[in-house]
Amino acid sequence: MLTLALLRHAKSDWEVEGIPDFDRGLAPRGLAAAPAIGAEIARLGFAPDLVLCSTAKRARMTLDLVARPMKLPSKAVRHEDELYMASARQLLDRIRQIPDDAKSAMIVGHNPGFHELNVALIGDLAAEAERAAKSKFPTCTFAVYTFDTDHWRDVGPRRGRVVHFVTPRRLSEPT
């Protein structure tokens, strides 16, 4: 069985004008949300064998803040230019190239590709869970999918089972 996680970058900073999209950092809300998501990832016990991260500043900053509570080793991380604003198709193509000795992987990147990939990967879900998972993929969302295969090349549409779908808003809701 393989496990894939998608982590969308945290809320980006739009306050400073004239900064290219690629070079935008995180807003205060993003700077607060990322460590909270990292703590939740650590609580869930998710420790990826491989992390693929967009080279955009906001993605790298998000990963740095999330990785601290996870105690993620830097040797597991690969920064890849091609993940910046990648489409769902491009993301899936990259996932299928992950070496099979990595049984779990996490990708840190962007919408709309993440939302579209999320919708494509989801297999059968209860109606309420499916509506929630397919409705949005907000900033700093962390989603985990399992696949009944040992080969990343076999990962594809409707083959994933969502096991976690965590948003900053859900973390802040009273239980």
Alpha-carbon 40 to chain mean position: 13
pLDDT digits over 110-155, tens only? Answer: 999 999 999 888 865 545 455 556 668 899 999 999 999 999 999 9
Residue ranges and CATH numbers for the domains of the chain are: 10-124+135-141+164-172 (3.40.50.1240)
pLDDT at 125: 57
* pTM score, whole prediction: 0.92
134-168 burial code (b ≥16 CB/10 A, e <16): eeebbbbbbbbbbbeeeebeebeeebbbbeebbbb
pLDDT digits over 19-78, tens only? Answer: 999 999 999 999 999 999 999 999 999 999 999 999 999 999 999 999 999 988 888 999
> Going along 90-141, which residue ranges are E strands?
104-109
